[in-house]
Structure 1
Amino acid sequence: MPNERLTRAAVTTGRRTVEFCELPVPDLGEGDGLLAVEAVGICGSDVVSFDRADEPVRVMGHETVGRIAEATPSAMSRWGARPGDRVLLEEYLPCGHCRFCRSAEFRFCLESDPAATPGALRYGTTGLAVAPGLWGGFSELQYLHPRTVLHHVPESLPADVATMALPVANGYEWAYRSGGVGPGSAVVVIGPGQQGLGCVLAARIAGASVIVAVGLERDGARLAAAKSLGATHTIVSGPDLVEQVLAATGGEGADVVVNTASGKSAVFNDAVAMLRKSGRLVLPVREKLRQDGVDLGAVGRKCLIVIGMRGHSFAAVESAIAILQDNLELVRPLATMTVPLERVADAILSTGGTGPIPDVIHATVAVAPADQSTSEA
């Protein structure tokens, strides 16, 4: 019997617990492949799931950049790729034939939405018990399902910047493609996390004239980053938040508010109050608790458009890669932490503000090549 191939992986086995294991590498079937992982970014959702005790044992990581190591001819044809190509993966594994997939909105595909379809497959969250197990990027090799959605990454784009493509794509989707920000717009972004900063960057590129980033007292470094990306005003949230926003917009209110921070009724009502009549409120938050005290009357009186939002389109990711490539010096300071695979827990915890490195905006886990230098700041 031939020797079984193994790959080294960081396996999340419980709340804030990682074990390093040698996992079997699957033989290729029809239409699939393997990715040699180069680097993986840490998403805010990783911070949340890493802190939960009810998640499956799994290989986490979905902001993955790597090279196609092996793939069947049918996979190469479907993906438009060749072995050795440097690519970025999306977390979605859409069915490819539903109404959403056929209309280029595969992020809505029920087969890739665990909230709608229990057991739905997604990179970074599917459990180790689901064959072949290598569903996340915190591994030297990652399994490529036939339904993989990938994007080609320029060789000149540094790995720690390339791994920011998905949060930047979210910001581009929420602020520009769905939010409708354009030249001369007044925009408020509530929450200066990775996606919120992506919204600020997208608003700048779209030509917004007023960009207000709102955060908390502890968000000093992130608000400073928002300023460097193009925010014209940064505000620490407080009792006079709405008044400050109205002052920043000449008393007219914002054309667009993107709330990336909280689904609480108080934040919703503040967002409504700072919008002009017929403005747009974009809500990518996922508050699970029902909220009392939501001022729906103001939504009607001001004729507002409220847009629920999740994830990113294929086009948004393509645009994000181009934005990062074209604005490398501008976005490079957002890559505040890069560590080897052995320190993946530090990267996740630091992103959430509880790890050994303070003021992390976006962290990257460098997986390969083995001699790649790592740094942290």
Structure 2
Amino acid sequence: MRAVTYHGTGDFRVDTHPDPVIGDPGDAILRVTSTAICGSDLHMFDGFMPEMKSGDIMGHEFMGIVEDVGSGVGNLKKGDRVVVPFTINCGHCHWCKTKQFSLCDESNPDAEKLALITGQAGAGLFGFSHLYGGYAGGQAEYVRIPFADATHLKVPDGLTDEQVLFLSDIFPTGYQAAVNAEVGPGSVVAIWGAGPVGLFTLKSCKLLGAERVFVIDDVPERLKLAAENGAEVIDRSQVKPYDALMELTNGMLPDKVIDAVGLEAHGTGVIDTVYDKVKTATFQETGRPHVLREAIMCCRKGGIVSIPGVYAAIVDKFPIGSAFAKALTFRMGQTHVMQHAPKLLEHIQEGRIDPTFLITHRGSLADGPDLYKQFRDKKDDCVKVVLTP
């Protein structure tokens, strides 16, 4: 089979790999019909994610048709059409039973390695380094699905791939970000990042009844999409977000702030931006938390900071004093996809949201490496890429 393959920082190629096979009675083999490039994939492309190995197959947003199942699989059969969550769920550990699926105890064979960094390990992830199991990803023609009984969402008839593909990650991620922020009627929310996760966070805040939603970015086409979907947009290249939010909220500031950017944030010529670039370049810091610092400063006293943007290991100059003085609450973590996906599927079926609104580019697997660069560099108004194997 053909698959988008890691060969080092900035070096992804489409290679030929052996077709996957059933390796455990709980496995299924999926023929991939649609897959996508996610902002989190760029952390591997840009060299920010440790424990990547040459030959690793990329991709964690995908769906397709079941081709084969192991003898232990009870609720899937050949021909079933499914979306696959990026978090691999065993279905029976404490965390899966309590619907905290991204914390699964059983699906990460590299748990001891990750626990040295984090204290405890979470679930295995598709296409996301050998800290998370080294599982082959879904930017491929076929993929093996472990714990297949728990790691899937069946797709009803009448829905296209593009309507449901993002249930694999970015739609539930945006929704969880809003839920973690306790967004509801009357909420005033500020979201940093108008990329795919930020846009789904915006849509989720609207679904949950937020009164006002501000979106901060500096990419014109992303700000345009955010405005078209109900946001009050702030172009951070033209104004400091803190100053704008103070003015727009009459000095109250938002009570919910959401960092939908994560560890590859860029500032605009401020001192902490230079500091972070030097620290990450010399491997003394594993992310650039400019947005996180700014979001904390922009959060109303007693508010909530929600972090769907990915961070790894350590960051510096964390404004704990501001967070403490303002009595802020923090919520974060990988997405419990299967906790939210069934409900979000209903929203799609009932026409309350059309997830295809953010797709700007489509291609084949062969186009994948070039589209990675286009997405990373935000060229040709590229917001979201869908690939068809």
- TM-score where L is the length of structure 2: 0.80
One-letter amino acid of the counterpart of residue 12, structure 1? Y
Give the corresponding residue for 1:336: 360
Quote the residue 2:145 is aligned against.
144
1:353 corresponds to 2:355: no
Asked whether the 8 Å contact 2:194–2:222 carries over to 1, the reply is yes
What amino acid does structure 2 have at the position aligned with 1:144? I
Looking at structure 1, the residues matched to 293 and 70 of structure 2 have their Cα atoms a distance apart, in angstroms, of: 52
Task: Return closer, same or farther for 1:115/1:210 CA change in 2, 3 Å cut-off.
Answer: farther
Alpha-carbon separation, structure 1, partners of 2:381 and 2:172:
22
Counterpart of 2:7, as a letter, is: T
* Contact 2:194 2:217 (8 Å CA) reproduced: yes
Deviation at 1:44, TM superposition (A): 0.9
Name which of 14, 35, 39 aligns with 1:40: 35
Sequence identity (%): 24
Which residue, 9, 16, 23 being the options, matches 2:18?
23
Structure 1 residues 112 and 234, CA, compared in 2 at 3 Å: closer, same or farther? farther
Q: Which one-letter code corresponds to 1:168 in the other structure?
A: F
Distance 1:327 1:229, change over 3 A: farther
Q: Unaligned regions of 5+ residues in structure 1, if any?
A: 1-6, 368-377
Distance 2:370 2:69 in 1: 33
Number of residue pairs aligned between Structure 1 and Structure 2:
348
Change over 3 Å in CA distance of 1:115–1:196 after alignment to 2 = farther
Per-residue deviation, 1:182:
0.5
Give the counterpart of 2:5 among 5, 8, 11. Answer: 11
Q: Say whether 1:297 aligns with 2:321.
A: yes
- Per the alignment, residue 319 of structure 1 pairs with 343
Relative to structure 1, is the Cα distance of residues 253 and 113 closer, same or farther in structure 2, using a 3 angstrom cutoff?
farther
Q: In the TM superposition, what is the alpha-carbon distance from 1:28 to its structure 2 partner?
A: 6.0
Q: What aligned pairs does 1:31-180 form with structure 2 within 5 A after superposition?
A: 31-52=26-47, 55-56=52-53, 57-75=55-73, 77=74, 80-112=75-107, 116-118=111-113, 121-125=124-128, 135-146=136-147, 149-165=151-167, 166-175=169-178, 177-180=179-182
Question: What amino acid does structure 1 have at the position aligned with 2:248?
Answer: A
Note if contact 2:87-2:337 (Cα within 8 Å) is conserved in structure 1. Answer: no
Match of 2:274 in 1: none
Offset at residue 254 of structure 1 (A): 0.8
Q: Secondary structure at the match of 2:216?
A: strand
CA distance, structure 1, for counterparts of residue 229 and residue 62 of structure 2: 24
Taking only aligned residues, the RMSD between alpha carbons, in angstroms, comes to 2.8
Please report how far the alpha carbon of residue 97 of structure 1 lies from its aligned counterpart in structure 2 after TM superposition: 4.0
1:195 aligns with 2:192: no
Mark the CA change 1:180 to 1:140 in structure 2 (over 3 Å): closer, same or farther: same
The structural deviation recorded for 1:242 is 1.0
CA deviation map 1:279-299 (0-9, x unaligned): 11112340544312x433332
Name the amino acid aligned to 1:359.
Answer: D
Deviations 1:321-351 (A, max 9, x none): 3334445875433111110111111222222
- 1:374 maps to none
Alignment partners' CA distance in 1, 2:307 and 2:353: 30
Contact 1:104 1:313 in 2 (8 A): no
Structure 2's unaligned 5+ residue stretches are 115-122, 264-287
| Structure 2 counterparts to residues 246-261 of structure 1, below 5 A | 246-261=246-261
Separation in 2, partners of 1:170, 1:339: 24
The structure that is strand-richer by fraction is: 1
- 1:318–1:72: structure 2 CA closer, same or farther, 3 Å change rule? same
Residue 247 of structure 2 aligns to a residue whose secondary structure is: helix
- Of residues 311-320 and 276-285 in structure 1, the stretch that sits farther from structure 2 once superposed is 311-320
Separation in structure 2 between the aligned mates of residue 237 and residue 288 of structure 1, nearest angstrom: 29
1:335-376 per-residue CA deviation (whole Å, 9 max, x = no partner) reads: 11110111111222222126xx52211111101xxxxxxxxx
The answer to whether the 8 Å contact 1:221/1:359 transfers is yes
- Partner amino acid, structure 2, of 1:138: Q
The answer (yes or no) to whether the contact 2:14–2:369 under 8 Å persists in 1 is no
1:362 is the counterpart of 2:364? no
Query: 1:373 maps to what in 2?
Result: none
The 3-state SS of whatever aligns with 1:181 is coil
Shift of residue 73 of structure 1?
5.0
Q: Classify the secondary structure of the residue corresponding to 2:227.
A: helix
Decide which moves more: 264-273 or 243-252. Answer: 264-273
**Structure 1 residues 56-107: Cα deviation after superposition (integer angstroms, max 9, x where no partner):** 12121111110111113531x2xx3332121111122234443322211020
Query: Distance in 2 between the 1:213 and 1:239 partners?
Result: 13
Measure how far apart 1:114 and its partner are.
8.2
- Equivalent residues of 2:234, 2:241 under 8 A apart: no
Q: Hey, what's the Cα distance between the residues in 2 that align with 1:350 and 1:265? A: 24
Per mean C-alpha deviation after superposition, the further-off stretch among 87-96 and 115-124 is: 115-124
Write the distance in 2 (CA, Å) between the matches of 1:143 and 1:201.
32
Q: Residues 192, 36 of structure 1: CA spacing in aligned structure 2 closer, same or farther, 3 A cutoff? A: same
Asked if the contact 1:341–1:366 (Cα under 8 Å) also holds between the matched residues in 2, the reply is: yes
